[in-house]
Amino acid sequence: MHSCEGLSSSRARCRQRLLRKWEVRQKRILSPEQTMRVLARLRDPVLLISQTCLETGARISEVSGLRIQHVDLKLGCVRIEQRHWRGDIDEPKTARSRRTLALGTLRGHYRRWIGGLKDRSGMGNCRCGTLGCAKR
């Protein structure tokens, strides 16, 4: 017997809870001005992660899974080799997700970020060495 089966009033309440669970909120897309205001309030590494997602179209899990060795400053690109999702390092979501992306205008930002990490003797308290590690 399912937990919703029983009295008709409790079944109706359970059904309402199940329906609410599956309701999907309308996606809200920020205007360019709103996006710039949000980015202006962010600091690294969150700013760098956000800008990389916006500039390259990469998934948040792919960008937060980037390691220093995945960044090629000479060529100005990053290689998506893994993803960081809910604390786990794993393969990219699909076979086509393993790819190389151009950094474009973010090359200088990555150079400064990586230089700052080296000045602080590596990745600090980070165990996994990813850009999105919450241990920083």
Residue 109 backbone phi and psi in degrees, to 5: -65, -45
List the structure tokens of 4: 């919703």
The secondary element (H helix, E strand) that includes residue 78 is: strand 77-80
| Confidence check: pLDDT of 124 > 50 | no
What is the pTM for the complete model shown? 0.71
The 10s digit of each residue's pLDDT in 59-81 is: 999 999 999 999 999 999 999 99
Higher-confidence residue: 98 or 20? 98
Segments making up each domain of the chain, as ranges: 29-119
Residue range 2-7: mean pLDDT, rounded: 50
| Confidence check: pLDDT of 120 > 70 | no
Residue 107 pairs in a beta bridge with none
Residue 102 backbone phi and psi in degrees, to 5: -75, 140
